[in-house]
Chain A
Amino acid sequence: MISGELFIDLLLGSGALVTAILCLTAKDLFQAILLFISMGLLVTLAWVRLGAWDIAIAEAAIGAGLTGALLIATRRQLNQ
């Protein structure tokens, strides 16, 4: 019987892995970008679980927010 905390850790880690694989295998670039953002958010939760609050705040703002905005802006330029 695994404990609840270990279960959450396993779920977060494997969720990040699965979204990373889906991100790189996605056919559509937009899909890949959205999966990358979701991976960033899952990793943010992993930082919280590891007690790195400063990094969690920075990852939520930069890794998930700003990088996503930059990638979507790039995609728009590429599709013009």
Chain B
Amino acid sequence: MFNNMTLSDSAQQEADLPGSVLLIIGMVVVAACLFLAMSLVQFQSTDQPLVTLVVSNLEQSGVENPVTAVLLNFRSYDTLLEVAVLLIVALAVMPFSLQDTRLPFIKVSEPVERSLVLEAFLRWLLPAIIVTSGYLLWTGAVLPGGAFQAGALLAGAGILLLLAGHHSFNFNAPTARLLLVVGLAMFLLVGAGVVLSSGIALAYPVAMAGMLILVIEVAATITIAAVLVLLFCALQIEPLGPQPNRVEKEKHS
């Protein structure tokens, strides 16, 4: 079943599983779904202890948005590990970029083909995106929003900037590496630092909770945006391995 994977864009090979196998797979999947649906109908969650816990402890969390409170205070281990997962993914795709570490983070160059509409559009859009992202980050304490949404928006701005072609990012530069780790580093630093006052890792003192959460969120936003842009860059640039251009150059010389 997993041996005949294909990468080609033409879809002729898609139906190369025999019909009988497809039928069996379909029947198994349908049976599993029916079982899940039945258990969902029978499942009655009458009491929700977590709801009352979140609501009654919201005042001590330092923020008013319950989702942010859960993410960055009550279950901050989840978010800490998530930022760590992002860093691991970033490290996994890093080998794709072979740029020099001494080159600057942002390189400005003349694009191969200019798209005037996108450039003019970006002139207005980029500042708006950055301001919106900051707003989402700030308002995350009270209203829906927060580090993830702000980071995703910033990453969108970075990808648009890449698509315009004037700028390119070198994620091997020291600045870029700093951006990639600042979220996790700040999270760990604050999490370890509060041990001094409360004795438990990641248990913020109530008086400073709001400020500490904001500090962590700013750092996490930067890291999330940087990692997401790096992921896009890793797909954009020519992957290492066989590099036809280089071979041709060697032949010419």
Contacts and interface: CB of A to CB of B under 8 A. Distances in A.
B152 A61 contact: yes
A21 B235 CA distance: 27
A71 B67 CA distance: 29
How many of chain A's residues touch chain B, expressed as a range?
A: 20 to 34
A62 B232 contact: no
Given A54-B67, A54-B149, A77 B156 contact: no
A27 to B, nearest CB: 4
Interface of A: 27-29, 53-54, 56-58, 61-62, 65-66, 69-70, 73-75, 77-79
Interface residues of B, number: 23
Contact of A58 (B11, B65, B149, B239): B149
A77 B241 CA distance: 14
Interface in B119-178: 136, 144-146, 148-149, 152-153, 155-156, 159
Nearest to B140: A54
B145 A62 contact: no
30 contacts: A27-B11, A28-B11, A29-B9, A53-B144, A54-B68, A54-B145, A54-B146, A56-B144, A57-B144, A57-B145, A57-B149, A58-B149, A61-B152, A61-B153, A61-B156, A62-B228, A65-B152, A65-B156, A66-B152, A66-B155, A66-B156, A66-B228, A69-B159, A73-B232, A73-B236, A74-B235, A75-B9, A77-B235, A78-B7, A78-B9
Nearest to B224: A62
A69 B232 contact: yes
A79 B235 CA distance: 13
B165 to A, nearest CB: 14
Nearest to B14: A27
Interface string B1-45: 000000101010000000000000000000000000000000000
Contacts of A66: 152, 155-156, 159, 228, 232
A7 B61 CA distance: 39
A79 B7 CA distance: 10
A57 to B, nearest CB: 4
B185 interface: no
A57 B136 contact: yes
> Which of A28, A54, A65, A70 has the most chain B CB atoms inside 10 A of its CB?
A54
